[in-house]
Amino acid sequence: MATKTCEKPKLTHRKGLWSPEEDERLRDYILQYGHGCWSSLPTKAGLQRNGKSCRLRWINYLRPGLKRGAFSEQEREIISALHHSSGNKWSQIAQQLPGRTDNEIKNYWNSYLKKNVMKPEGKQAQSSTISTKSTVSTPNSQESNNEASSSESVKTSQLRRIESSLESHNSVANRESNQSYFPKILFTEWLSSDHAQNPNTVQSGNQMVPKENLNVVNIVSKHSHLNEEEHYFDSGYHHGLNNSTTYANVGFVDFVPLAEMYSDFDMYNDVV
């Protein structure tokens, strides 16, 4: 991991927001040469930033395959469930949400979900329930818990369903490993040479469409060669202009025996 062979750049480092030019330099360099040693990367790439800053910018913003935009209902529930079981382990939570970064999830939690948890009224009962088991306790957690126990919302039961599904799968399939119990998603665009030239676009049919024009969608598919309880979890881009969905640039590599979650996804495919 750590080496002492990296060159030490003695420069006064720029701070603050990244300019589009800096982004371009960093992206171009990494796509061409890889990041290698982060501390020496800024010098090689011609950036007046420190390596840490470059690393963060790449991981949180420039890295291909990142989902931008609002969190879906499913993502919210997964974050809540995992925060419930793991606490503020943002990197662990991020591993279960392909395309999302720990920083993004942390910000989302602090700005949205945490606020709901803190709400004294029973309106957000599902989040209040979550907070009681979290490593982070809140002033309202106990009273919220009382309210939640008296009338459990539909959201709460849905959340519990996902949690138990995750727990059972995790205990059976991955007990002895550190593998995530969510599917690993491989973005094929990450591997393509086209993407290296145009990291902000996705091929849709014959044309390259800017990612910001597309919505990310989730899909669960059953295939004939899989066991009864095994399904593919897919993600793709929905092309709003012609109301079509394109999966051409996103590939999928893992199974999801989470049959109970089907109703929570945007689509269910029976490909058999």
Partner DNA sequence: AAATCTTACAACCGCCACCTA
Partner DNA sequence: GTAGGTGGCGGTTGTAAGATT
Residues that bind DNA (CB under 7 A): 1-6, 8, 14-18, 37-40, 49, 51-53, 55-57, 60-61, 70, 88-92, 102-104, 106-108, 110-112, 115, 136
Closest distance to DNA from the beta carbon of 60 (Å):
6
Residue of 71, 73, 54, 70 lying closest to 62 (CA atoms): 54
Closest distance to DNA from the beta carbon of 42 (Å):
10
Q: CB nearer to DNA: give 5 or 224.
A: 5
Q: Give the total residue count for the chain.
A: 272
Q: CB nearer to DNA: give 20 or 154.
A: 20
Question: What is each CA distance from 124 to 115, 140, 199, in whole angstroms?
Answer: 10, 12, 39
Q: CB nearer to DNA: give 4 or 225.
A: 4
Closest distance to DNA from the beta carbon of 100 (Å):
10
Query: At 248, which amino acid appears?
Result: A
Q: CB nearer to DNA: give 35 or 222.
A: 35
Closest distance to DNA from the beta carbon of 21 (Å):
12
Strands 201-204 and 207-210: antiparallel
Question: What is each CA distance from 197 to 27, 32, 64, 226, in whole angstroms?
Answer: 10, 10, 12, 36
Q: Other C-beta atoms within 10 Å of 2: how many?
A: 6
Q: CB nearer to DNA: give 82 or 219.
A: 82
C-beta separation of 181 from 173 below 8 A: yes
Q: Is 74 exposed, middle or buried (0-12, 13-18, 19+ CB in 10 A)?
A: middle
Closest distance to DNA from the beta carbon of 214 (Å):
17
